Structure 1
Amino acid sequence: MTQWERLQQLDTVYSQRAFDLYNRDEFPMEVRHYLAHWIEGQDWERASRDSSQAAFLFQVLLENLDNQFSRFAQEKDSFLLQRNFRRYKQNFQKYQEEPYTLATIINWFLVKEREILNDAELAQQVQTLQVQPAAVELESQRQVEKSLKDLKTKVEVMEHSIRCLEEQQDEFDFKYQTHLMDSCTEEEKKMQVEGLQKMLNALDKCRRNFLSDISAMLDAADVLRSALIDEELVDWKRRQQKSCIGAPDDTSLEHLEKWFTQIIECMFQLQKFLQKLDELVGKMTYDNDPILVRKPPLKSRVDTLLTHLIKSSFVVETQPSMPQGRGPLVLRTNVQFSVKVRLLYKVSELNHVMKVTVSVNKFRKFNVLGTLSKALNMAESMNGGMVADFRHLTLKDQKVGGGGKGINDLSLSVTEELHRITFQTQFDYQGLSVPLETSSLPVVVVSNSSQQQSAWASVLWFNMLCSDPKNVKFFETSPAATWPQFGEMLSWQFLSCGKRGLDSDQLETLAIKLFGKQQSYDSCKISWTKFSKENLPDTNFTLWVWLDGILTLVKLYLSDLWSDGSIMGFVSKGKERLLLKKKQNGTFLLRFSESIKDGGITFSWVQYANDGTPSVQTVKPFTSTDLKQIALPDILCNFRIMVAENIPVNPLCYLYPNTPKDQAFGKYYSEKTGEENPYLKYLKTKLVFKSPMLSSSTTDDDMLNSILDSDSECTVPDAFPPTAPHISPSCLQHNFSESPLDIFADALSPDIDVNVTLHEFINSPDILNGINLRMLPEESDDFVLDSGLIQDLGYPNIPLTP
C-alpha cells in the first residue's frame, strides 16, 4: 500500500490535515493522486541536492503528466481533468531552470505526509490505551532486572560460601580438639600447631572475605533500592496521579511488586547469613576476629535497608473514588467510596495477619463510617498480592463549631480544601518490626453534587502541577500552569470522555482563545483563578465550566462521533469560514459553541449564490436537552430548510473536507419507525428539523441561517460550479407530492375509524403538544416541524385539533 493510499484511509481529523496540506498551488493534489506510485518511488531528497538527478526527474514528471493527459483524453467525463493537467504542466515549466526547487517542494510534501501518518498511528495507540513505553523507561527496567539478577546470583554464591565457611571451621575445631587430646612429642606438637595456624589464617581470611562480600552486596542493594524507591516507585506514583485525571498511563504494580519482593527476600537472606555468623562466633572465636568488629554495622545496614524497602512497599493501589462520582479523589459526605492498599512484598506467611486501619486528617472533622480495619490478604488480588480492599467507607461531616469548616486558610472554598486518607499497619516478620503508613492522594470532600464540578477542577489542577501528595495547602499559593501542561491535561479529559484527545489544531484554537495569536505558546501560563474563578469575556461562566459542559456533552451524547473524528470541535469562526468557502456546495463541519455554559454543538455549511458567491450558514447550537431527545446523527440526517415554493430540503451533503454525509454518519442513524413507537401507533412518522430559508444578511453566528458576508478574495473553485438558488444540492431529493393528504393512503388500517383515530392522535397529551405539524407526502413518511429548529422540548401544553 502506498503512502498516499494510507493517507486516504485515515480518520477524518487526519485526512483533513492531508487535504489542508494540499490546499495550496505548489504541488496539486490531483498530480499527487494520479502519479502516486511513481512519485513515491523516486529519491526526491537526493534530487533536491543533486541538480542532474533533479533535471532527470523533472523531465520524467513532465512525460508522466503528458501520459496521464492522454489517458484522460480517452475517457468520458474527464474534460476538467484534461484541462487541469494541461495547466499543471504549464505551471511546472517555471522550474525548468531550477528543477531542484521542485524536487525540494515535492520532498517537503512527502515528509509532511509521513508526519501526519505518524501522528495518526500514535493517536490510534492512545485510543486503544496501548501507549508504547519510552526507550528510557525500558532501559531503566532492564537495568533493574539485571541488577536484581546479579544480586540473586551473589546471594546463591554466598549461601555456598557460608556452608564452606562452616565446614572449614568445623574441620579446624576438630583438629584443634584432637591436638589438645593427643600425647605426642614436642616436634610433632610444633608441626600440628603450625598446621593449625595455617588453617586459622585461612579461616580468618574466609571470614574477612565473606564479610567483604556482604558489604559489597549491601552497596549494590543500596543502589538498587535507590533505583526502585527514588526512581521507579516515584515514576509509578506520578503515573498514577496523571491516570487519575485521564492520562492513559500504565499503573500496573506487577513489575514493582516482583522487584520489591525479590530485593526484600535477598535482604532477609543476608540477615540469615549474619545470624549464621553469630552461631560460628559462638562456637569459635579468636583475637582480632573480624566478625566481632564488622558484623554489627553490617546488620544495622541490612535492617535499615529492609526497613526502608518495606515502608516504601506499602502503597495506595487504587485511589479513593465513588461509584458514580465525577472522578477519582472527589468524595461526597454520606456517600460510599472505595479505596485499595497493597503491600508490594508478597509473603504467604503474613496472609491475613497484618491489620490495616483507616483515618482522615484532623483539620476538618469527619466521622469515618464502614469497615475501618481490614487484613492484608491474597484473596482480594488477581495475582495473589497482599491487598486490603476497602469498598464501603463513608465520610460524615461533624457539625462542630464552624459547621465543619476546616481550620486551614479561611479564604479557600470547600472545593479547594485538600484532605488525606491515611492507612496504618504493623509489619512483624523474622525478627523485624516496622510500623507502616501510607496516604491517598489529596481528596476533595463536598456535601452536595453541585460542588462536584468545582471539586474536579481542583483535582485536575493539583495533580497536573504538584507531585507532593502531602501538600494539602497547595491552593493557598497555587502556581500557574504552562500551556503545554494545561493543553496535555485538557487532551486527557477528552480522551477519557470520548476516546480521543485533542489534536494540534484544536489545541492551537484554544491557545489563541486564551492568549491571542503567538509565535509559540510554550511560555504562556494560565492561573488557577483564570481557569476556575474568572468568567470568560462577555459570558457569565468560567473557562472550566465551559470546557466541562462540552466534556459532559461528549461523554453522554457524542462519544462515537468524537472518537471517529467527525467533530472538528474547536475551530474559530474565521477559520471555519475560510475552510468552508473553499469547499463544494453543502460541505459542513461540526464545532462546539462558545456561548453556551452547559455545552452546545452546532454545524455550519457553505452554499453558493447564483453568481458563485459563497456564504456560510450556522444553526443555533444543540444542547443536552436537544440531544437527549434526538441523536445528533439523526438531526443531521433529517435537518431541513425551507426553500422556494415552501419545499423542505437538507442542505448538508459532505462532512468536511469531502466525506459524504451518509458515509460519515449512516452507521449511527436511528432505524426506528412509527410502528415501533408506542406514542405514534398508527402513522409512520419521524421528526425532522426544518427552518425557513431567511434572506437576511445579518451576521450572527449563533442563529439559524445567519448569512455571512463573503470576503472579496473568496471565489468558487473551478471544480465546484455554483448551484442555482432555486435548485437544491445534487445530494438532495425533492420530489414532493402536491397533496399532504396522500400520506393517509397506506398509513392507516382499514378497520380504524379515521376521524376518531386522528382526533385522538392529535389531541394526545403524550405527543409533541404545541407543535404545528404538516404532513409530508407518502413517499417520505415525515413530520415537518413548522415551528422552526427545535432547541428544547418545553412547548406549551396546547392540544392540536384536526
Structure 2
Amino acid sequence: MAVWIQAQQLQGDALHQMQSLYGQHFPIEVRHYLSQWIEGQLWDAIDLENPQEEFKAKRLLDSLIQELQNKAEHQVGEDGFLLKIKLGHYASQLKSTYDRCPLELVRCIKHILYTEQRLVREATNSSSPVGGMMDSMSQKYQQINQAFEELRLLTQDTENDLRKLQHNQEYFIIQYQESLRIQAQLTSLATLPPADRQLREPALLSKRATVESWLTREANTLQKYRLDLAEKHQKTLQLLRKQQTIILDDELIQWKRRQQLAGNGGPPEGGLDILQSWCEKLAETIWQNRQQIRRAEHLRQQLPIPGPIEELLNELNSTITDIISALVTSTFIIEKQPPQVLKTQTKFAATVRLLVGGKLNVHMNPPQVKATIISEQQAKALLKNENTRNDSSGEILNNNCVMEYHQTTGTLSAHFRNMSLKRIKRSDRRGAESVTEEKFTILFESQFSVGGNELVFQVKGRVPFLVPDKVLWPQLCDAINMKYKAEVQSNRGLSEENLVFLAQKAFSSSSNNPDDYRNMTMTWSQFNRESLPGRNFTFWQWFDGVMELTKKHLKPHWNDGAILGFVNKQQAQDMLMSKPNGTFLLRFSDSEIGGITIAWVAENPNKAGERMVWNLMPYTTKDFSIRSLADRISDLNHLLFLYPDRPKDEVFSKYYTPPLSKAVDGYVKPQIKQVVPESDSMLDAEGDFDLDDTMDVARHVEELLRRPVESQWGGQQS
C-alpha cells in the first residue's frame, strides 16, 4: 500500500506530526496530488553532501514542476478551475524556492518520506493484534511521549500559577500604594486645626488598619504562592532531568554506539529525526521553564518579601542553566564521522549537527565550527578541563565551516566536504606500539550565544580512546562476525562452529565446547601483536587474510555454503574418512595468510586397500588471478563430491568458464588446465601435494599469452 494512503489514516499526535511536515516550503496538496509520482522517484540515490549531484536534483525539480503543470491542465469543472489555479501557483512557488538550490528540495522530500514511513510503522506496530502487545521500541517511544505530555501539563500549570501570582502581586502593590497614600494623609493632618484633625483622623486610622491587615495577610499569601510555584518548578525540573537522561544518556548514546558499530560493518545507525524532535521538545520545555523562573525572580525583586524564596529561585536558576547547558553540549554531535584511518594529502569529509539549533534560535546568527586534530593525551586532558585548546597534533586544510540552517528539515549542520590532513605531529611511541596504534581524534568546536550567555561547546558524547586492555571472547566474536559480513558483503556470517575454530586458534586450545570460551578474555597483544604459536603472523593478520581472499575471489562460493573454511587439517581428515572416495572440502590454510586448500579422500597408492586424506598446497590471490577456484575444481577429475555428498558440478558448474570458441583464422587458442601429478616426488613431508612447480609453469604460460606477439618473437627475426 502506498505510504500516502496509510499516512492519511494516522490519528492523534501522529497525524499532527505528519501535518507539521508541510507548509510553504512544500504544500500538502502537492504531496496529495503527486503522491504516486513522488514515491516512485529515487530520492535516496542522490548524495546531498556531493555538490556534483545538483544536476540530478535539478532534473527532479523540473520533473516535479512539469507533473504539477500537467495535473493542473487536466482539471475541469468549477472545482477543477480553483484547483488548476492552486496547482499552477504551487508549481511557480516551488520553482522560485528551489531553482537555485535543488538539493534542498531533495533534502525536504527525503525528510518527509522518512518521517511518514516512521509514523506509519509506529502506528502499525501499536495497533498490531499479535498478543495485544507493542514491540519494545514502540513502548519506549510511548513512555517518552507520555513524559513530554506530563511536562507540557506541568509547564502550563506553572504558567497559570505565575500569571495568577503576577496579578495578585500587582493588586498588592496597588493596595500598598493606597496604604502609603493613607499614611501621607494622616501625616498631613498635623497641619490641620485640632477639631478638623479629630474629625477626619478616626476614619483614616480605621482605613489604614484595614489595609495593613489585608497587606499582612496578602503578603503571607504571596509568599505561599511563590513557595508553591518554586516547589512545582522543582518537580518539573526533576522530571526534565529524568527525561533528558533517558534521551541523552540512553537514546543518543545508543545512536552513537550504533554509529561506531556501523564503522566496523554493523547496520546503519539510523536517522536523527526522532532524536532531534525529542531534543527540540526538551529545549522548548526547558526554555519555557527558564523564562518562568526568571519572571518569578523579577517579581521577587519587584516586591521583596523576607523568606527562603530568594535562595530557592537561585537554586532553580542554577539547575535550569545546568540542564540547558548539558542539552546543548550533548546535542552538538558528529552526524557523519570522518574515516577511521586518515592519510595525509587525502581528501575526507565530516558533518556536525546541533540538534537543538533551530529551537534555540542559534541559526539566527550562524556559528562557525572549527576542526582540529589532537592526540590521545590532549583529548583526555581536554575532558578534564585542562587548558589544551590551542594545542594540536597536526594541520587540517579547509577546517572551518559555517553552520547552515535547512528550513525544510529544521536541521542546523556544518558540512566539511574537502578537509585534508596536511601534516601530523607524532609523539614518541611506547615499546612495541606501531605507528597505526597511535591514536588521534578530530575535535569539532564552536562558540555561539544561547540566552545571552557565551558558551563554548565541544564534542563530549563519550570519553575518547576508551579502549579496554582486554575483551571477553563473546564480545570479540560479535565484532569480527560483523566485520566479516561487512567486508565480504554477505548475509552469511560466522557460525558457532566457525567461532569455536577461531577460539581454538586464538587460545591454542583443543576444546570444542563453546561454553569453555565464554569467560575467556583476549588482549590487544594476543589479537594483533603476538604471533600465533609456530607461525610468523598474528591472529588478526590471519583472519584479515581470510576476509580479503573471500571478498576478492570466494564470495559466491561462501554465500552458497560451499566453503567450510574454518576447519583444521585433523578435523578435515576425521570428516572425510567416513565419506566415499572423491569427497572433498575447502578449508582456509592454517599455515599461510590468505590461503585456501582442498582436502579429499582417496586410495593410498602405496598400500592397497588403504585410504588417506590428501591436501593440496594452499591457493592464494595470486593463483586465483590466473584461474578461478571453480575452474580448478573442474580440472581435478578425482574430486567428485563436495562434503558431505553433493556432486561437484551441481555446486560449481554455474561458475565454470564457458568453453573456448572455435579456431579463428586457423589458430587454436591455448588453454591452461590444472593437474595433480601422481609422482611420489611431488608429495611433501606431510603427504601434501606441492603444486609450486606446476603452477610456476602455468604462470609462465599465462604471462606469455598476455604479451604482444612482437615482444615474444621480435628477438628471433633474421
User: Same fold judged by TM-score > 0.5?
Assistant: yes
Contact 2:368 2:446 in 1 (8 A): yes
Distance 1:481 1:176, change over 3 A: closer
**2:487 aligned residue (469, 491, 497):** 497
Distance 1:481 1:178, change over 3 A: closer
**2:412 aligned residue (355, 376, 386):** 386
**2:227 aligned residue (203, 208, 214):** 208
- Counterpart for residue 262 of structure 2: 243
Deviation of 1:680 after TM superposition, in Å, equals 11
Distance 1:222 1:585, change over 3 A: same
- Counterpart for residue 561 of structure 1: 557
- Counterpart for residue 621 of structure 1: 618
Answering whether residue 596 of structure 2 is matched by residue 601 of structure 1, we say yes
Deviation of 1:505 after TM superposition, in Å, equals 0.6
Distance 1:416 1:293, change over 3 A: closer
Deviation of 1:666 after TM superposition, in Å, equals 4.5
Distance 1:405 1:373, change over 3 A: closer
| More deviation, 607-616/564-573 | 607-616
Distance in 1 of aligned mates of 2:298 and 2:392? 54
Distance 1:289 1:172, change over 3 A: same
Distance 1:604 1:410, change over 3 A: closer
- Counterpart for residue 508 of structure 1: 500
Contact 1:366 1:396 in 2 (8 A): no
**2:436 aligned residue (415, 431, 447):** 415
| 1:464-485 deviations in Å (ceiling 9; x for gaps) | xxx84156xx7xxx82444323
**1:375 aligned residue (378, 399, 402):** 402
Deviation of 1:302 after TM superposition, in Å, equals 0.8
Distance in 2 of aligned mates of 1:382 and 1:794? 63
- Counterpart for residue 319 of structure 2: 301
Contact 1:360 1:366 in 2 (8 A): yes
Distance in 2 of aligned mates of 1:369 and 1:168? 61
AA at the equivalent of 2:261 = K
Contact 1:274 1:295 in 2 (8 A): yes
- Counterpart for residue 462 of structure 1: none
Contact 2:358 2:410 in 1 (8 A): no
- Counterpart for residue 285 of structure 2: 266
Unpaired runs of at least 5, structure 1: 1-133, 322-328, 399-403, 441-466, 641-649, 707-785
Distance in 2 of aligned mates of 1:197 and 1:210? 20
Deviation of 1:224 after TM superposition, in Å, equals 2.9
Q: Structure 2 matches for 1:79-478, cutoff 5 A?
A: 143-173=143-173, 200-248=219-267, 250=269, 252-281=271-300, 284-288=302-306, 291-321=309-339, 329-347=340-358, 349-351=361-363, 353-361=366-374, 367-379=394-406, 383-397=409-423, 405-407=426-428, 409=430, 412-438=433-459, 468-470=463-465
Distance 1:293 1:396, change over 3 A: closer
Distance 1:265 1:659, change over 3 A: farther
Contact 2:401 2:416 in 1 (8 A): yes
**2:642 aligned residue (619, 642, 655):** 655
Distance in 2 of aligned mates of 1:207 and 1:200? 10
AA at the equivalent of 2:354 = L
Name the SS for the 1:333 alignment partner. coil
| 1:186-220 deviations in Å (ceiling 9; x for gaps) | 76776666666655544433322211111111122
| 1:218-266 deviations in Å (ceiling 9; x for gaps) | 1222233333444444444444333333344736444433333222222
Deviation of 1:139 after TM superposition, in Å, equals 6.5
Distance in 1 of aligned mates of 2:223 and 2:460? 49
AA at the equivalent of 1:370 = L
Name the SS for the 1:211 alignment partner. helix
Distance in 2 of aligned mates of 1:634 and 1:789? 18
Contact 1:371 1:392 in 2 (8 A): yes
Distance in 2 of aligned mates of 1:700 and 1:615? 15
Name the SS for the 2:546 alignment partner. helix
Deviation of 1:428 after TM superposition, in Å, equals 0.8
Distance 1:688 1:791, change over 3 A: closer
Deviation of 1:384 after TM superposition, in Å, equals 4.3
Sequence identity of aligned pairs in percent? Answer: 27
Distance 1:394 1:613, change over 3 A: same
Deviation of 1:418 after TM superposition, in Å, equals 1.3
Answering whether residue 683 of structure 2 is matched by residue 664 of structure 1, we say no
Distance in 1 of aligned mates of 2:297 and 2:392? 52
Name the SS for the 1:320 alignment partner. coil
TM-score, length of structure 2 as denominator length:
0.64
Distance in 2 of aligned mates of 1:395 and 1:190? 81
Distance in 2 of aligned mates of 1:413 and 1:534? 13
Answering whether residue 707 of structure 2 is matched by residue 689 of structure 1, we say no
Distance in 1 of aligned mates of 2:234 and 2:629? 70
TM-score, length of structure 1 as denominator length:
0.58
Answering whether residue 517 of structure 2 is matched by residue 517 of structure 1, we say no
Deviation of 1:299 after TM superposition, in Å, equals 0.7
Contact 1:368 1:393 in 2 (8 A): no
Name the SS for the 1:420 alignment partner. strand
Distance in 1 of aligned mates of 2:703 and 2:311? 95
Distance in 2 of aligned mates of 1:694 and 1:255? 70
**1:587 aligned residue (580, 583, 588):** 583
Instruction: Give the length in aligned residue pairs.
Output: 532
Name the SS for the 1:245 alignment partner. coil
More helix by share: 2
Deviation of 1:357 after TM superposition, in Å, equals 0.6
Deviation of 1:659 after TM superposition, in Å, equals 3.6
- Counterpart for residue 635 of structure 1: 632
Distance 1:526 1:550, change over 3 A: same
Distance in 2 of aligned mates of 1:308 and 1:702? 68
Distance 1:526 1:198, change over 3 A: closer
Deviation of 1:344 after TM superposition, in Å, equals 2.6
AA at the equivalent of 1:216 = K
Distance in 2 of aligned mates of 1:347 and 1:243? 28
| 1:331-365 deviations in Å (ceiling 9; x for gaps) | 12222222332223241632371111111226897
Distance in 2 of aligned mates of 1:426 and 1:394? 23
| 1:593-647 deviations in Å (ceiling 9; x for gaps) | 12223x11222233468987543333332211222343333433x323xxxxxxx
Distance in 2 of aligned mates of 1:345 and 1:138? 23
AA at the equivalent of 1:545 = Q
Q: Structure 2 matches for 1:672-711, cutoff 5 A?
A: 673-674=660-661, 683=668, 687-693=672-678, 703-704=688-689
Contact 1:626 1:791 in 2 (8 A): no
Distance in 1 of aligned mates of 2:510 and 2:696? 35
